[in-house]
Structure 1
């Protein structure tokens, strides 16, 4: 694969709802532009972009992959992204690497939640965008209805630069609205042939052409003046205006066709090259110099070298592969670059172009292009690589926080040590996974975006590292406390020949209202308990509080006042007073109305207004309480508190309630008393577990 100049490159992320045909579209483009000899199929597991074993087994895209297509002396880097929201981190990496996102929409399903979400993410990065209306060969395909719904929902200059000839079983071609060039499929020759625009579509093409001209003119004063003077624009002026309008985000072109049959692929590639901006014509990428504010930095091959690492792939045999986009200058093999985030130099040996899993060696990669380098020592996703003379950092990708926890346990005890190594390698690839250690319950907790996300992690551990794991709902970190004050004595006396053991304490136990840790107060008068033994009394209580009297959970919010006791001049010891304190603890807590506490989470839910009733009803079912509601545009924010025990599966619950449109965040808020009925179940369950230990 040869090296291309910046103006001859297009970086296009293919995004959209799961099942809209993104992977098939890229495969079809490659085949009909003669970049591959045979068109792969998802069900056969042989597409260029879905190449790893997880994708083949599940029949869905899981990772972002780079698929360059060379056509008419232009290189189009297609970036295939997953449609499942569980893998949104991969999609965001693909968006960050691209100069325009093409949102694939099914003409059968129309507007789906994935389209809405992807539009929002593209908007957040202020990235140019286009639509591709797919599956026009299917029964019940509706091009006009889909186009109108896009215009109505997104409310900007959405203009069709292509128009279909027929729909469903009658779909046979696509018209380029600007060049007025029609191509119709010839089934006998299995090729697309140029043809005249069907008479019944001439007026529709005129209408679409006028829409494009008006949108272009409104976005450019020079073109607007010419349009007013002459009433028309040349094709070159229209394409130039489209590129400018796309780059600024003011115009969104719409293409159409059928990825499965390949109808429209040549017309699509023409418009990708003519309508989409090359990297040097975009707004650029946000970066900052040292501690300054972020500014837009243009993509320019004449500036010193800089690149943004947008993705990491870890292979247990090959090692780490860092995928990057060159922002300025060029990178050459056998060179030294500077990692601005880590303040380290990195040695670049060989550099690569990628086509799916295929690695193609090259001597240099120019600004605007995408490549990869193996085995960088310090570099990770989000880092900036530069020439030493250009000290800047690119704005990192903002990933959503994972909200679904699962405990992960090795099936074999022999794999316990290996599991953390495997997880850490996968975490290098997937920034949206988090890991934590629950020391109290001896559990490793994996946090993911959703159930499928975590399930794929488990599969990767097995397939990449040979580690089989079990996934379980995490244990809830319950606590115990008391509601009533009590005074008790703990007396430990043991005589068995020689020195005995003697410790005697009187302690007042009370609920503590201003903190969770033990509040220990020494009120001893007259040396009835010698000073050297008082720390042992406190230690005995602290150790005892690790286990409560109801269900064995740690005790919090306890105040203990040592006010009396006695000692023996020979038999008393630190150990004796620790034991006496623990005896007083057990007696006192049983008499002080012990209660079970549960963690309460502060939860904020974002969802369209139409789902509010069901969301609030579900919060109530989860023993939660709504604290308030705040409107945020078309979205409502619900602020509430929900017991942690009820929220482990909330990712799936909210997805079901809102058809995937809702999101939430949560953090620990406080501990509260568990209702009697729930507490009884928890205590009985804990007692059964303790019997088996």
Structure 2
């Protein structure tokens, strides 16, 4: 039988890269008896960093789920990547959990990615608990970290335990709720915890932080506050109840501490997860549009798919959260996006390195199913076709783009293989952008950073055997005219038998109202060119516009008038007039002051306040035009600027360097503008060299 919803805890481990989330995912599995020994990130032996690229880079790239029992509750623990390049998995985990444990490095304090995730967790109304990790490191300081937590997340961040000792001498923790001390063995062990008297050296500090805890807990209700201020004793049960209530919807944020790699205080964290963090029942139903889903096992099924993993052998593996009803194998569920039924085959659970096959998943639970035909992340599986959609989470836009080159042997089959594999990886990570540039014809893959794109290429090779190389994408320049011109195109050819004859006069001028448009006007009078040949002239004109006379880029923003010409009753044809139109257009473009245009982007950049000056200076060096600034909260400033695309191809790593990794940006196309003359000559010479290389 499945666990009752009030006995389930769904918890996402989130935080900045290097805070020790993967180690903290490993330690509870060891403490709960799922693992026989603690794995190591350095040695590549952890459960959650199982992929070869995760082991090689010593970092989490994908979300990992492990389920286990503690104090007769089922805990679904989701380890998430801490690198901003893979934020989609962290946001996906937050979406389906009631609670988040923020893992903070005791040396570094609150770092930028943790700050961003905290804001997302607040938007989702999640209960949040903080675990200050790595207390045994040199320069680790719990109390300095606590100050940084209060500064970043507000005064309702409150310690529920403090460490005994510091740095290499940390030996245990003091529970401020029970006012008890616990000491841990040097080597990781499940039974390495023993209760001790509070050390004299820590007694005064423990009392000080106990009072701070009581101040915060008493604020959770007016009645409790009144009794507390009047000096009445607050019972232990009342403190625990108030702590739970305050934590549930984000009016209190307990701070715990420990050392994951030593299994120090893991048991205390597990107790806090099952005692202080809410179950699906306590947290309340999920409102999706006009529908409210409650964790009721007797109600009809509604399950949300939050993660799709592309497996070359098992196909799609979908992770889902049951919000209502029960998910059972060998049944059917309806995909509310495709409106088609999916056969639910064998269900999959994850317990450490082992996979299990549960008989069912009840409301509030998280599990997986393989080999669904059409279902992917973001879909609902339901008992009926209810038009519901999970409120979307704003994902950062991919900004690091590359053109795919050297695809396999270059055959169409190789390209199809790569494209199919990329589409499957895109199902796994929605922050991947994949498209073909309509102007340059290049296949573009874009991610959130260079590391992100490198991982995509590695996974293409490792999972799907698709070898590709990357090169910077070509800037889609265009050409236009600044003046007017007239030209005469005449195509005459006699080769025995029927000849070819087409003759037309055209005038061209800038199309000021539509700088990226095209207009063709027929001003022929008296039938000097039969109306049946006019479309051929237009076709020839447009063909000539595909390769401009400046550097071979497409021509836009031109009005073309055909006003005169002649024809031959026998030799004239559509082909002849198409050639004549093309000749006339090329000649006219040469004489109409042609210029080169470049795409201008609107860049929206979020940076720390103290980096604004450096970022503005850098934008100026990129020919950018800052449009304005405004505060973005949490010590950040939003800058808007217009910048040429050519100057932004490698902006992502430069912005990270300028802002200590805290800056992020998004771009959208604005319009085309003329390239300055001194830069245009360089673009022209490069384009011609590329054309010559292709012809050679």
Once the two structures are superposed, what CA deviation does each residue of 1:352-397 show, in whole Å capped at 9, x if it has no partner?
2123553201112122221111122232212222333977544344
* Alignment-derived partner of residue 642 in structure 1: 643
**Are 1:413 and 2:410 counterparts?**
yes
User: In the alignment, which residue of structure 2 is the partner of 1:509?
Assistant: 508
Provide Cα deviations, 1:417-468, integer angstroms capped at 9, x if missing partner. Answer: 2111111111121111121112432211112122111111111110111011
What is the distance in 1 between the residues matched to 2:325 and 2:209?
Answer: 40
Cα pair distance change 1:187/1:617, threshold 3 Å: closer
Q: Which residue pairs with 2:17 in the alignment? A: 18
1:379 is matched with which residue: 375, 380, 393?
375
Q: 1:51/1:650 Cα in 2 relative to 1: closer, same or farther (>3 Å)? A: same
- Counterpart of 2:597 in structure 1 is 597
- Which residue is 2:86 aligned to? 87
**Segment of structure 1 superposing worse, 402-411 or 456-465:** 402-411
Residues in 2 aligned to 1:283 and 1:609: alpha-carbon distance in whole angstroms:
38
Asked whether the equivalents of residues 336 and 386 of structure 2 are also in contact (C-alpha less than 8 Å), the reply is no
> Aligned with 1:43: secondary structure?
coil
The two structures have a TM-score, normalised by structure 2, of 0.94
Q: Would you say the 8 A contact 1:286–1:395 is kept in 2?
A: no
Within a 5 Å distance, the mapping from 1:171-250 to structure 2 comes to: 171-187=170-186, 191-228=192-229, 231-250=232-251
List gaps (5 residues or longer) in structure 1.
291-295
Which residue does the alignment assign to 1:527? 527
Inter-partner Cα distance in structure 1 for 2:193 and 2:562: 93
CA contact (8 A) 1:427 1:434 kept: yes
- C-alpha separation in 1, matches of 2:582 and 2:445: 36
Greater CA deviation, 126-135 or 370-379?
A: 370-379
What secondary structure does 1:194 align onto? strand
Q: In the TM superposition, what is the alpha-carbon distance from 1:185 to its structure 2 partner?
A: 2.5
Shift of the alpha carbon at 1:567? 2.6
Q: Corresponding residue for 1:293?
A: none
CA, structure 1 residues 108+610, in 2 after alignment: closer, same or farther (shift >3 Å)? same
- After the TM superposition, which residues 465-614 of structure 1 pair with which residues of structure 2 at under 5 Å, given as runs? 465-515=464-514, 516-614=516-614
Once residues 164 and 40 of structure 1 are traced to their aligned partners in structure 2, the CA distance between those partners, rounded to angstroms, is 24
Moved more, 590-599 or 199-208: 199-208
Identify unmatched segments of 5+ residues in structure 2.
none
Deviation of the 1:50 alpha carbon: 0.9
Q: 2:282, 2:324 → 1: CA distance?
A: 13
Counterparts of 1:418-457 in structure 2 under 5 Å?
418-457=417-456
**Residue number in structure 2 paired with 1:274:** 275
TM-score normalised to structure 1 length? 0.95
Asked if the contact 1:382/1:397 (under 8 Å) is kept, the reply is no
State the partner residue of 1:661. 662
Which residue of 1 is the match for residue 329 of structure 2? Answer: 333
Alignment of 1:306-385 (within 5 A): 306-355=302-351, 358-385=354-381
Q: Report deviation, 1:298.
A: 4.3
Aligned-pair CA distance for 1:120? 1.4
Partner Cα distance (1:146, 1:654) in 2 = 27
* Offset from partner CA, 1:132-171 (integer Å, 9 cap, x none): 1111111111111110111122213111111100001211
Q: CA deviation at 1:474?
A: 0.9
SS of 1:332 mapped into structure 2: coil
**In structure 2, what is the Cα distance between the partners aligned to 1:285 and 1:382?**
15
Is 525-534 or 38-47 further displaced after alignment? Answer: 525-534
SS of residue paired to 1:260: helix
User: Which shows bigger deviation, 320-329 or 654-663?
Assistant: 654-663
Aligned mates of 1:483, 1:643 — CA distance in 2: 20
Is the CA contact (8 Å cut-off) linking 1:174 and 1:256 kept in structure 2?
yes
Q: Using a 3 Å threshold, how does the CA distance of structure 1 residues 434 and 540 change in structure 2: closer, same or farther?
A: same
Separation (CA, whole Å) in 1 of partners of 2:390 and 2:593: 58
In structure 2, C-alpha distance between the alignment counterparts of 1:616 and 1:588, rounded to whole Å: 42
Distance 1:514 1:465, change over 3 A: same
Give per-residue Cα distances to partners, 1:19-46, cap 9 Å, x unaligned: 1111011212222333211111112211
User: Displaced runs of 4+ in structure 1, greater than 6 A?
Assistant: none
Q: 1:149 to 1:452 in 2, by over 3 A?
A: same
Contact 1:603 1:664 in 2 (8 A): yes
CA distance, structure 2, for counterparts of residue 347 and residue 189 of structure 1: 44
Q: Any idea what SS the aligned residue of 2:654 has?
A: helix
- Which deviates more, 402-411 or 555-564? 402-411
Q: Is the 8 A contact 2:401 2:473 kept in 1?
A: yes
- Residue 487 to residue 356, structure 1, CA distance change in 2 (3 Å): farther
Q: Give a deviation string over 1:185-240, Cα, whole Å, max 9, x none.
A: 24499622211111122222222222222222211244335435662322222221
Task: Give the direction of change, closer, same or farther, for the CA distance of 1:685–1:535 in structure 2 (3 Å limit).
Answer: same
